[in-house]
Structures are given as structure tokens and as C-alpha cells.
Amino acid sequence: MYTVIFDLDGTISDPAKGITRSINHALVELGHKAHPEDALLQYIGPPLATTFSELAGITNEAALAHAIELYRERYIPIGYKENHIYDDMKHILSTLASKGYALCIATSKRRDIAIKVLEFLNIDAYFTQIHGCDVDRSKSDLLREILSDPILGNNALVMIGDRDIDFLAAAEVNMPSIAVRWGYGNDREFELATETVSNPLDLPNAIERIAQQSTTKKQ
């Protein structure tokens, strides 16, 4: 059994409306002007602390926590539902699970919010473990947590995501990664990944290739 770790936003589902509108809600509440939603797409994936530090110039820890609280004031009751799963992704999750892969989530979202999203998309049952960052943990921390699991960690295989933080976290723990082009990353970020795929239907073959390479190295 191999463990396959997925990012959530921009990898499994498109959360653009909910995230960008919730960012603007927080900015307006803080006395800033709202941004065009297209201009906020680059902030899908990175931690919220980074987002509000860049957009509002906030560096104080308490002020950042307040900005994130304002973001979640809209996102938790409304924004997480402004989200849709990418075409063919549910089929891919089902296919991987049927092949015996253990599927996990490692997201910059708070864990309880990630669970709400997965339940809303009706795909929570596919995942063995769900790990979230919140403001005090990095994505590499999540991968180390999975690697420390006595069962999953012995078979950890690959991190799948759309942003550089996914691939950098994987590299930090010596794990291969797959970049997905349908999310919010760019070619510069994709260069950090072990492989890149352009369609969800390409994921099983890419995972199999990495699994074979991993098996060969262990022999």
C-alpha cells in the first residue's frame, strides 16, 4: 500500500470565488479597498498569514490573527460552499482508492475547515487522514507527521499540489512531488516538482511511475 498526499485548494477543487471574496471581506473590514477577484488568485494556496501580510502590510501577530478571523467570518458559513471539484477528480480518487492507495490531505487550511470542504464535495470518505496547517504549522510539518505514522509513513510516496509550497515541502522531507497544471501555480513553480501533469486523468500513470522508481531505489 502506497500513501498519496494531496493538497486541497487548486488541486482537488477550485475554491476561487469563496477565497477571493472572503479575502476582500476581511480587507474591507480592515479599512482597505477590495481587489479585483482575478488579482487575488495568486493567494490561493499560500498561508493566510502570508496573504494578509502582503495585501494589508500586516506584520503584527495579533493583527494577522484578527485579519484571518475576519476572513473566516465569511469563509466558514459561506465561502467554503463557493467551491467545486475539478472534472474527473472524484473518479481519480475512487480509482486510486480501489487500487489500494492510502490517500491523505495536507492543506494550508485549518483541519476542521478542510473537513467541511471535503464533506461538502462528498469526497471525505476517500481519505485516510486529513492534515491542516492553520497559522502555526508549515506544510512540511504535515508531511513529517504523515511520515511518522507507523503504517502510512513506511509507504509515503508522493505529494500532489499546484503551488511551490507543495513542492518545496516535499523536497524538504525528501519526497517526490507532482504538479497539476489546472490549479493556480505557474511554470516557474512547476519546475520544482518531480513530474507535471495537465489533466486529472494523467495522475494514476504519474503516480505509478513514481511508485516504480521508489521500488527500484529500495531494491
Which residues are 13's β-sheet partners? 9, 85
CB 200 within 8 A of CB 86: yes
Torsion-angle region of residue 134: left (phi > 0), alpha (psi -120 to 50) or beta? left
Torsion-angle region of residue 175: left (phi > 0), alpha (psi -120 to 50) or beta? beta
For residues 101 and 85, give the distance between their C-alpha atoms in angstroms, rounded to a whole number.
20
31: CB partners within 8 A, 6+ apart: none
Active site residue 38: no
Among candidate residues 7, 9, 164, 166, the one labeled active-site is: 7
| The 195-197 sheet, strands edge to edge | 127-132, 102-107, 3-6, 156-161, 177-180, 195-197
- Which are the catalytic amino acids? 7
